[in-house]
Structure formats: structure tokens, C-alpha cells
Amino acid sequence: MTGLLVARLIWGLLLVTRPDSVGTAAGAPASPTASRVVRVLGMRHVLQALLTRFMPRLTVRRWGSAADALHAATCLALAAVDRRWRRAATLDALAAATWCVTTARRPRQIVR
């Protein structure tokens, strides 16, 4: 398992197990809805890491990168329209964009 996949898996597990701590640290409003959203996003990261690990195909990597790009775009849209979520959404957009770029830049490592 590459360092990138391990990092994504750990990040996802952190979001799933500590959604309130991560959300509060990022500046998200404290609410049950925010906790659920953070948990779902964490599950996506865990699933993406596992799929990429056990189905190491270029198409899996590309779809994962596309999911990260879409996630970054939706976070920027949220930041633009909701002041309460601006800080957390901007930080999450930066993280998603980083995942997108790092995932897209390593496609040759997984082609079989």
C-alpha cells in the first residue's frame, strides 16, 4: 500500500471516528448534521482508499480523482453561499484539491 493510500485511509478513519473534533477544528458549525456529513465524507475516503488498493486500475484512480475534484468544487460553492461554513468548506476544498492532484499525478504506479 502506497503512502498516499495509507494517508487517505487514516484521514478517512479519523473523519469517521472523530467527526466532531475534526469539524470543530476546521471551523464547522457544531451540529448533528455536520457530524453526519463529516462521517459520510470519511467513509468515502476509506472506500476510495480500499478500492484503489484492491482494484489498482487506472480507471479507478481517475474516478477517484474526479470525485475529489467534484468534492472541491462543491465545497467552494458552499463557501461562497454560507458564511457559517466558509472556513470549514474552504479548508475542505483545499484538502480535496490536494487529494485530486496527488491522485491524478500517480497513475502509472497502479496500471497492471
Concatenated DSSP letters for 12-53? Answer: HHHHHH-HHHHHHHHTPPPSHHHHHHHHHHHHHHHHHHHHHH
Residue 25 maps to a domain: yes
Residue 111 maps to a domain: no
pTM: 0.84
Question: Each residue of 83-100: pLDDT tens digit?
Answer: 999 999 999 999 999 999
Residue 63 maps to a domain: yes
Residue 13 maps to a domain: yes
- Domain of 79 in residue numbering reads as 3-106
Q: How far apart are CA 65 and CA 103, in angstroms?
A: 6
Measured at the alpha carbon of residue 12, what is the angle toward residues 26 and 7, in degrees to the nearest 5? Answer: 100
Question: How many domains does the chain divide into?
Answer: 1
Residue 67 maps to a domain: yes
Residue 100 maps to a domain: yes
Residue 49, exposed/middle/buried by CB under 10 A (0-12, 13-18, 19+)? buried
Residue 29 maps to a domain: yes
What is residue 69's predicted lDDT score, i.e. its pLDDT? 95
